[in-house]
A = this chain, B = another copy of it.
Amino acid sequence: MNMEKTVFQPLYRQTEVLLTQALKAGEWPPGGLIPSEQELALRFGVSQGTIRKAIESLRADKLLVRRQGRGTYVASHREEAAQFRFLKLRPDERPPHALRSEFLDCTRLKAGQDLARALDLQASAVIVRVRRLLWEREQPVVYEEINLPGHRFKGLSAERLSAYQGPLYGLFESEFGVRMVGGEEKLKAVIGPPEICQALRVPAGSPLLYVDRVTVSYDQAPVEARRAHYVTREHHYAARL
């Protein structure tokens, strides 16, 4: 009988969606200040407490950063705190520190079936593929292949990559307006392919940690498919339960 189920969404969820849309539209730049609770409450026609709950949810998802006395900011990959959120490789003994990036090449090609599925594209769509090594001191520890939808990364080139200082996702957000907000990784232990072992300066046949990442932007839209091999001889992948 009662076929119509109420599609009830609480006000603070609706407000959260509106805020996310504003973020997605780039209404406030990464690292920028968003309006105060009072202003937002007025704009959306809800109480301050409701706005607060919506903001708290976005803060928990690391889309916003709150600073008492100063205001609420759009999270940015350029901040110190965000550096180790996406790279979970840590030295076994020493404290972690930033890795140096060496770009190998940057090419454009057709996505193909697998990547098209991962990135929610047509198999004939063009993607940009970046390959690089990450070095810790004089030892490479990561070899990775980064695949991006071509239409969202138009001017990306080897020169532009090499010229940029800082985390890759920082470049993506400031130069291409694509902000990575989350992702999933699938890990396997594999015997490293010969050419990758060579690039990583480890003996042929060494075990490597294979990491398959799909990174998403606002609304969980996939915008990056990354396949990496980690050297875990003196490092480990850190996960929380």
A residues contacting B by CB (< 8 A) are: 85-86, 88, 92, 182-191, 207-210, 212-213, 215, 230, 232, 235-241
Whether A189 contacts B209 by the Cβ 8 Å rule is yes
Could you say which residues of chain B place their CB within 8 Å of the CB of A236? 186-188, 212
Q: Which B residues touch A189, using CB under 8 A?
A: 189-190, 207-210, 230, 232
A232 and B185 form a contact (CB under 8 A): no
Q: Which of B182, B186, B208, B209 touches A187 (beta carbons < 8 Å)?
A: B209
Cβ-defined contact, A239 with B207, below 8 A = no
Bound together, the chains give a CA A187 to CA B238 distance in angstroms of: 7
Give the chain B neighbours of A190 by CB distance below 8 A.
189, 207, 232
**CA A187 to CA B85, docked complex, whole Å:** 16
Would you call B208 and A238 a contact (CB within 8 A)?
Answer: no
CB neighbours of A238 from chain B (8 A): 184-187
Contact assessment for A241 and B188 in the assembled complex, using a CB-CB cutoff below 8 Å: no
CB atoms of A215 and B241 under 8 A apart: yes
Q: Which of A184, A191, A207, A240 has the most CB of B within 10 A?
A: A207
Of A183, A208, A209, A239, chain B has the most CB atoms within 10 Å of the CB of: A239
Chain B minimum-CB-distance residue to A241: B183
Top 10 A-B pairs ranked by shortest CB distance? A189-B189, A188-B232, A187-B237, A186-B236, A189-B209, A183-B241, A189-B207, A207-B207, A185-B239, A189-B232
A233 to chain B, nearest CB (A): 8
Q: Which chain B residue lies CB-closest to A180? A: B241
A-B contacts, 13 of them at CB < 8 A, read A92-B186, A183-B241, A184-B241, A185-B240, A186-B237, A186-B239, A187-B237, A187-B239, A188-B236, A207-B208, A213-B241, A215-B241, A239-B239
Q: Which residues of B contact A230 (CB under 8 A)?
A: 189
List 14 additional contacts besides A184-B241, A189-B189; criterion CB under 8 Å.
A183-B240, A185-B240, A186-B237, A186-B238, A187-B209, A187-B236, A187-B237, A188-B209, A188-B232, A207-B207, A207-B208, A213-B241, A215-B241, A237-B239
